[in-house]
Amino acid sequence: MTNNNIILFDMDGTLSEPRQKFHSELLLDFRKIINYSEIGILTGADYSDIQFQLDKIMRFSEVRFHMHLLPCNGTKHYAPPTTAQDYFKLKYENSMPNQLGKACFRELFKILSEQQTEACYHDIALTGHFVNYRGSMINWCPIGRNASKEQRAHFIQYDKKEKFRERLVENIQYKLNLLCPGKTIVTQGGQTSIDIYPTGWDKTYALRHFPEKTCWFVGDACHEGGNDHEIYKHLKKEGRAFQTSSPIETGEIIRNHILPAIMHS
């Protein structure tokens, strides 16, 4: 039996390497968690990315019966199956164009097109699939989501040295504030991209799905400007948020901090 807890995990950098499969050594920790708590996978990515990264767990593991999928910062909620024959079912979703309005939504795409043109003048790869519209948010990757590991690694170093995404976030936010005042938030997403979503639709959005549960969070991008920052800051005040640097450290956080707490709650 599970108690009144749910532990929310970011995906890339927390449960897996960026855009790679779930770190298999964490499965034992997940099996221990479900004796005391539900699990939520809370990511800026869409459902198809979660499905790729958690494929075997979603299809075969007993963990699936206690796991909520919360893509697009929790603006979509897939409830866990209840029988062996069931699969994850979409329980809730929200729409970015409806929230922003048609004019603002179109202006956003104009700005991203301009910024992608500017990115061509920098020492970064250009591989295609730059903009990914996910229904309730937009993910823009200046090098493209088709980039290889080597191209991603080069971009990450370039980004750290030149503060490339930091400057892009400031620029895009400034332009959007002129055109659609107060309607949008722009943050760094993962290690190579930028997320844009309606104001208030950061990862704290997911908390509204679990009003009667005690929520915990583990993520890697908890710094200011990172896409885990808001929920980390919100739950850290109550001692229920943890920053990780890798799936290995996530396992240590589960075993040394979260499990001891929920076992006695």
- Alpha helices per DSSP H over the chain: 27-33, 47-53, 55-60, 96-100, 102-119, 149-162, 164-179, 229-236, 247-253, 259-263
Q: Which of 12, 159, 220, 228 is catalytic?
A: 12
Check residue 2 and report its DSSP letter.
-
**What is the β-pairing status of strands 214-219 and 241-243?**
parallel
Number of Cβ within 10 Å of residue 85's Cβ equals 6
Task: Spell out where 83-212 has E strands.
Answer: 89-93, 131-133, 138-140, 184-189, 193-198
Taking the C-alpha atoms of residue 52 and residue 257, their distance in angstroms, rounded to an integer, is 29
Taking the C-alpha atoms of residue 8 and residue 189, their distance in angstroms, rounded to an integer, is 17
Taking the C-alpha atoms of residue 134 and residue 61, their distance in angstroms, rounded to an integer, is 27
Distances (CA, A) of 69 to 19, 34, 130, 184: 16, 15, 25, 24
Active site residue 10: yes
| Residue with the two structure tokens 């396992």 | 251
Q: Which of 10, 46, 159, 195 is catalytic?
A: 10
**Residues across the chain:** 265
The number of angstroms, rounded, from the C-alpha of 127 to the middle of its chain's C-alpha atoms is 22
Residues carrying an active site annotation: 10, 12
